[in-house]
Amino acid sequence: MREFRMCSVAGILGYGYPEASLNAALERGIDMIGCDGGSTDPGPFYLGSGKPFVSLRALKRDLRLMLKAAIQAKVPMVLGTAGGAGGEPHLQLVAQMVRDIAKEEGLHFNMALIHSEQDKAKIARRVREGRTRPLGRAPALDEDTVNKAERIVGMCGPEPWMRALDEGAQIVIGGRSSDPAPFAATAIRAQMPPAQGWYAGKMLECGAAPAAPKGPDCLYLTVREDGVICEPMGNRACTPLSVANHSLHENASPIRHVEPGGVLDTSECRFEQVSPKATLVTGMRWEPADTYTVKLEAAEKVGHRAITICGTRDPLLIGQLDGFLDIVRDLVRSKSADLDIAPDQYRLTIHTYGRDGVMGAREPVKGTNGAHELGFLVDVVAKDPDTAAAVIALSRTSMLHADFPGRLCREGNMAIPFSPSDLTAGEVYRFSMQHVVLPDDPYEMFPIEHERI
Amino acid sequence: MVKIRDLAKVCKSKNAGPFDLTIDVVFEDDATFDRVAATGVLSPALFARLYGVEERDVLFTPYPAGRAFKATLPRLIVAGDIGDTDVYGAQQHAPLLDVDIPV
């Protein structure tokens, strides 16, 4: 039976993996090596700012080992959503890292870059043409949202990855991509059925997450025409349950996975343990979509953040917390006005840990529930850093010194752990798009650039 | 009556993209999954009530292959927006733990 052997080194490049596991996969023999480079999970800052969410040191370590492995094994290497968010700065950061490692290690190869950052004018044109669609509960996309975005990326499907490899690249580094797409591309290109290729991608995009115990490790997959065998490296096992349950991970549905060109249906999957470490999955189906769609992600700049952290041990304050916080907000408003800062120029949020700091308005336990102490994270977001600094200083002194009925602790309401007490937290972004584009074809939004290294 | 915290093997929450929260309850074996499924307690209505959303906004999927139930619903605040308390959505499962299952 024909087989295609795939290795994913880690859940996200820069999260780490054991070198011994990579070597074990190499000894077994591989036909490709890959890694997913990113996620939206760490939030909108990284897409907006163009920065990675792992350290450069960790990124380079993980990249060096897999690059050397790919060259040694003479197999394709794919790295999707490079640099965490897959925008142009992220892609260029990782591309330069590849060049640096190649120079340090004396490696030579053909590299392709797949660009995923989108030109705002082109997306605005698609809006005017009526070729964007909202997802979920989002309203229709408008040009104003497009223009206000700091950065827009499209989620690349497998087709540009296949083309980059067909055109002779061995190492392909891509911007934002559907997480399974780079893996699926290599399997489909090796004449494996799309269902098996996409299923393999769904497993590989998270490293050894489909195994038990979970942990940062390599996943080794054997794709066959009838199914996929999942096996982790290291001291773990893929069991029918651990593999089945990976379909729950970060998906809206465990049985329907929407991808750029169709839907992977896992509702009829069967799971069979074929060795102490490995599970065979069969029965996956691929339903091609009538219309090819590319999902957009965008980050819009909201302002600048400053925070302060404090706590109270005063039962009289805790007993009238809502009233106290209202007093603080009023004080901040009036003192800000004295500095010519209008209420619409800042947003003050006070997170109360010990009450509803984790779940906010969805917290079912109401009130302070007999807490003997409470922690506060005071968050100010304003249009510029100076305004944020001014308002957080007023917020801190108001938390510390605001008078309240029956107050005994007249030297200060709060324990403040740090000096300086106010911290600046930089630029703040928000995710601003939940839409798809209907492109002319799967390639037009994702230009491929080749270079010899 | 048994609480989910004493019956489930896994009870967890996480983002499903920046706009949705997904909650999974996984049971140890097929028999437990079947008994829980038969009670009908885990349902779109339960998640709608616990999380303060409309029932039509809950995508509820029993998943026998994983001995799991999954519910996906809108986040209270989009991940990372001002006022968000849980960017990854990883600590929103607790209201389920005390749900009684009549098994």
- Check residue A369 and give its pLDDT: 85
Taking the CA of residue A68 and the nearest CA in chain B, the distance in Å comes to 33
- Check residue A129 and give its pLDDT: 98
Are the Cβ atoms of B59 and A362 closer than 8 angstroms?
no
**Mean pLDDT over all residues of chain B?**
96
In angstroms, the CA A17 to CA A20 distance is: 9
Among candidate residues B58, B17, B19, B84, the one with its CA nearest the CA of residue A250: B17
Are the Cβ atoms of A138 and B81 closer than 8 angstroms?
no
Q: For chain B, what are the domain ranges?
A: 2-95
Residue labelled with tokens 């939004």: A445
Scored b (16 or more CB within 10 A) or e, A432-449 reads bbbbbbebeebeebbebe
- Check residue A249 and give its pLDDT: 87
Crossing angle of helices A321-338 and A385-401, in 10° steps, is 140
Q: What are phi and psi of B27, to 5 degrees?
A: -110, 160
Q: Which CATH architecture has domain A302-430?
A: 2-Layer Sandwich (3.30)
Taking the CA of residue A210 and the nearest CA in chain B, the distance in Å comes to 12
- Check residue B29 and give its pLDDT: 93
A43 touches chain B (CB under 8 A): yes
A106: enclosing H helix or E strand: none
- Check residue A43 and give its pLDDT: 96
Q: For chain A, what are the domain ranges?
A: 3-116+155-293+438-452, 302-430
First vs last C-alpha separation in chain A? 36
- Check residue A250 and give its pLDDT: 84
Give yes or no for a contact between A395 and A348, defined as CB atoms under 8 angstroms apart.
yes
Q: Which residues of A touch B52 (CB under 8 A)?
A: 361-362
For residue B98, count other CB atoms closer than 10 A to its CB: 11
A249 touches chain B (CB under 8 A): yes
In angstroms, the CA A146 to CA A124 distance is: 6
Strand partners, A112: A172, A450
Nearest residue in chain B measured CA to CA from A365: B95
- Check residue A67 and give its pLDDT: 98
Distance of CA A368 to the CA centre of its chain: 34
pLDDT in tens, B44-79: 999 999 999 999 999 999 999 899 999 999 999 999
- Check residue B26 and give its pLDDT: 95
Please report, in tens digits, the pLDDT of each residue of chain A (453 residues total).
Answer: 799 999 999 999 999 999 999 999 999 999 999 999 999 999 999 999 999 999 999 999 999 999 999 999 999 999 999 999 999 999 999 999 999 999 999 999 999 999 999 999 999 999 999 999 999 889 999 999 999 999 999 999 999 999 999 999 999 999 999 999 999 999 999 999 999 999 999 999 999 999 999 889 999 999 999 999 999 999 999 999 999 999 898 889 999 999 999 999 999 999 999 999 999 999 999 999 999 999 999 999 999 999 999 999 999 999 999 999 999 999 999 999 999 999 999 999 999 999 999 999 999 999 998 999 999 999 999 999 999 999 999 999 999 999 999 999 999 999 999 999 999 999 999 999 999 999 999 999 999 999 999
